[in-house]
Structures are given as C-alpha cells and as structure tokens.
Amino acid sequence: MTITSTRTTESRYLRDNFAPVTEELTATNLTITGRLPDFLDGRYLRIGPNPMHDPGERYHWFMGEGMVHGVRLCEGRAEWYRNRWVRPAGSDFAPNTNVLEHAGRTLALVEAGSPAYELTHELDTVGPFDFCGTRSSLPGKSGFTAHPHEDPATGELHAVSYSWLRGNRVDYSVIDTTGRVRRSVEVQVHGSPMMHDFALTERHVVILDLPVTFDIDMATADVPRLARPLVRGLLNRIIGRNPVPEPLIAFAARGGDTGPTLPYRWNRDYPARIGVLPRDADGEAVRWFEIDPCYIFHTLNAYDDGDTVVVDVVKHPRMFDTVLNGPDEGPAILSRFTLDLARGTASEVGIDQRSQEFPRHDERLTGRRHRYGWGVGFEGGATGDTVLRHDLDAGTTDERRLGAGLEASEFCFVPRPGGSAEDDGVLMGYVFDRSSGVSDLRVLDAASLEDVAAVHLPGRVPAGFHGNWAPNGG
C-alpha cells in the first residue's frame, strides 16, 4: 500500500526515509562489500514504526505499527534479509520500539502499557509474550518497557515500566534467564510521566522522572464535545494519582477518526528529577535528586563510584513542546550526572556538545565503569551521516562521516570474542543511501570507525528506533 494522500504527505514523518515501506521482503545470499568477521554468527535486528494504513494528519512518528528488519550472518556470509510487520492480536498496539533476544526468544518491545510480543527466528509474529506464565506478576499485567537492560553478571533483564493506566506509579521488574518475572516493585513518581529509559548499576536502579507528562487535552481531543468537560474533569481528578479507566484511555490512544497521536507533552510545571533505588529494596526506598528541566530518551550507561552514582545520558533541552509529532526540540547533547548519595546533591557536566542520539556502549559493562560510548549525529531532528566514538576517560570524541547522501541509524557494539580492549569489536547499523533508494547493513571497526564490510539489502530500511545483535546460541 502506497500513501498518496496530499494531506498525510505533508508530515515529515511520512516522507523521505521516514516513509513506511509497503512490502515484506525475503532475500538470500546477499552481496557483501569488504569482509564480514568470522565471529559474526547470528542476526542483526532492528525495529521501527511502519504504518500499515494511511495514519491521518495527526500521525505521530512513535505511533506507527512496528516492522522488524533482520539480517542473518554466518561464517562471513549474509544468509538472509527479512522485514516483517509485528501483527497485533485484537486491540493490542503492535510493538515498534526495540527488538532483542532473551531466554532464547526474540522479543519486540514497546512502552506505555502495551505488551511485549514474541517473534520467530525468521521474524514472523507468534503473539503476546506472557513471560512464561508470570505476566500477571507485573503490576501493569500486560505492559512492559521498550528499554530493559541486562545485568552481565546474572543474565537477568531489568526493566522500569510506565503506563498511562498506572497513574503516578511505575514498576521496576526483573526477568530471570528463563523469561519469568522474578521480582516486581512499585515506585511512586510525581505525576504521570513518559519514562522511555532508565539506567542500571551494580547496586542501584536509576529512574528518570522528567517533565514530559500525560496531556488530558490531547488524549480527549476526539471525545464528543458535549461529553468532553465531564471526561476531562474526571481525568483531572485521577491522572497522576490513581490508575485510569482502561477503556477511556484506549479510546484516546486510538485518536478517533483523525489518526493516532501521542498524548504526552512538555509540562513546565512538572519537576525534573532522577531517582536512585537500591536494587533489592522496596519502592519507598527511592531517593530523588532534582535537576534542571530537560528530557532524556536514552541513557548511555551508569555505575556506582563509592558514595556516588554516575549516569551518562543524551539530554534534550525539552520535548514535545512546540513540535508534537516527533522529537525535534533542539540539539541533544551527551551529559554526565553525578548523584552524591552522602550529600544528597546532583551535579552535571557536558561531555560532548554535538547534537546526537542513540547512545550505545559495550553491554558487557552495563552497570560498570565504562570508557567508551558510541552515538549517531543528528541534523535538524533526523539522523545524518555521522557516527561518533566517545573516549570518556580522555575526554575526546572521534567523528566519522559516512558520506554525502547517507543517513545512519543506531549502531550497536558487538565485541570480538577474546578481545581484551573495551572497544575491540565492531559497530553494526543500517544506513540509507538517498541516491540509490536502498539501505545497507554497515559494519565498522569500533575503535577506528573505519569500514569493515557492507551487506547490500534488497530494499529500504526506514528511519526507526532500536536494534541489537542476537548471537546464534546466545
């Protein structure tokens, strides 16, 4: 299906490389430039929004149905490429934000109360994932996060989940190595924030309670006019305090007849703060540290340093304030927050002032002190052709321009087996070529950012969100 409506093509998130692709492709024995390292045995997976139908003039980039794009690599070959929609069951929202492997299962993830979905090895939809029969152990019953983090010491998956149905409560949960919910703790926050990511240290969970919050006017824009004051009055009494009636919010999320929108907006009256919760404590043990107003989609990593917690993040000055259909509110920079547990204070230093997003690190060091981080440069609210390598010990950043007319996506780090250096490995990510109209899977040396190989795909991978390397047998 090709979107041809003049009305919808006025949206930047339905044009150029944001535009959805219309076919599910399967291609085998892909052509490669360069040489793929022999240790790459597995699948590179990435997901993003890809509307199945014309989404209407109010379309928000975050609200398109999810489509997964994957490449299977083995013994220096690219065995296949597949792209598949995540097909929802009933009224579920099709996950569109992250895709990863855990407990031998391929999981497509989204946030805000929608369930995780399981996919086959070939990326076809299995259906909602019930955490091996333990989903009811989660306070939200069905919802999960788009950004869990795996503890490299235990292999368990940690998550902080929010939902517009949960009022002023978010949930810290731990999924064991079999895929079952081992622990779930409720944490009270200030109101009803959008909480896209969190950070994990060896001893703490770092929670981001920031001023992008549920917006009643946006959520009820399609409620019939005569009923609108009553509905908004009801929501004003319970939003940020108590769980919201699910049928009402489900109606608001669908966006009525004018297409889906995201009912979250910048809230100047909402305090910005970072919470630190001991991993083995109840929710009441969280300690809050006030910071200047900002928004953080993604953390790079965090670690404990004596009586302080160090958190590296990509910080936006604000979000969904003047631009309501996607993230474009000014340059986002790499910053470090240091939370002093003894003094109860927070301090911040800027690390790199270049506009960037999609920070990644060596995930063998999740929650541990890290030296390196990688990111992608942004230009005017969209990715450009720049890949960044941050040396946090030296305080330097290397920059690689991939070439004019190219658009990078998130690159993830894959370590070389047996390598002793933290940056001994490769970066992998999709890159779109505007001149040819197709994408490649690019493989770069993580230390030098030089080319290693490119896998040439049969079509275009639209601008999207997160991806991961899923090693065979991992």
- CA geometry: angle 106, 155, 199, nearest 5 deg: 90
Which has the higher per-residue pLDDT, 138 or 374? 374
What's the helix, strand, coil split of the chain in %, to 5?
Answer: 10, 40, 50
CATH number for 84-421+458-471 (one of 2.50.20, 1.20.120, 2.120.10, 2.40.160): it is 2.120.10
Mean pLDDT of 2-30: 80
- Cα 317 from Cα 346, distance rounded (Å): 18
Residue 132 Cα distances to 92, 139, 176, 327, 354, angstroms = 19, 16, 11, 35, 43
Q: Residue 350 carries which side chain, given as an amino acid letter? A: G
Q: Is the Cβ–Cβ distance between 43 and 36 less than 8 Å?
A: no
Mean pLDDT of 278-294: 98
pLDDT at 193 over 50: yes
Q: Is the Cβ–Cβ distance between 274 and 209 less than 8 Å?
A: yes
pLDDT at 240 over 70: no
Which has the higher per-residue pLDDT, 195 or 232? 195
pLDDT in tens, 48-66: 999 999 998 789 999 999 9
Query: Residue 219: its pLDDT value, please?
Result: 73
Which has the higher per-residue pLDDT, 306 or 262? 306
- Cα 25 from Cα 22, distance rounded (Å): 10
pLDDT in tens, 441-470: 999 999 999 999 999 999 999 999 999 999
pLDDT in tens, 196-223: 999 999 999 999 999 999 987 777 666 5
DSSP characters over 391-437:
ETTTTEEEEEE--TTEEE---EEEEPTT--STT-EEEEEEEEETTTT
Query: Residue 1: its pLDDT value, please?
Result: 33
pLDDT at 388 over 80: yes
Mean pLDDT of 11-29: 95
pLDDT at 310 over 70: yes
* pLDDT tier at 9, thresholds 50, 70, 90: low
Query: Residue 225: its pLDDT value, please?
Result: 60
Mean pLDDT of 367-373: 98
- Cα 337 from Cα 81, distance rounded (Å): 40
* pLDDT tier at 165, thresholds 50, 70, 90: confident
Q: Is the Cβ–Cβ distance between 390 and 352 less than 8 Å?
A: yes
First to last CA, the chain: 37
Question: Do strands 438-445 and 451-456 pair parallel, antiparallel, or not at all (unpaired)?
Answer: antiparallel
Strands (DSSP E) contained in 19-145 are 26-28, 32-34, 42-49, 66-74, 77-85, 98-102, 105-109, 117-119, 125-128
Query: Residue 390: its pLDDT value, please?
Result: 98
Query: Residue 254: its pLDDT value, please?
Result: 43
Q: Let me know if 459 is exposed, middle or buried by CB neighbors in 10 A (0-12, 13-18, 19+).
A: middle
Mean pLDDT of 144-169: 94
Query: Residue 227: its pLDDT value, please?
Result: 52
Mean pLDDT of 409-414: 98
Mean pLDDT of 339-365: 98
The pTM assigned to this predicted structure is 0.92
pLDDT at 25 over 50: yes
- Which residue blocks in 173-268 are alpha helix, DSSP H? 216-219, 228-238, 246-254
Chain mean pLDDT for the chain: 91
Query: Residue 223: its pLDDT value, please?
Result: 57
H or E stretch at 8: helix 6-9
Mean pLDDT of 122-145: 89
* pLDDT tier at 124, thresholds 50, 70, 90: very high
Mean pLDDT of 316-337: 96
Residue 391 Cα distances to 27, 361, 448, angstroms = 38, 11, 12
Mean pLDDT of 367-390: 95
* pLDDT tier at 231, thresholds 50, 70, 90: low
Q: Is the Cβ–Cβ distance between 128 and 136 less than 8 Å?
A: no
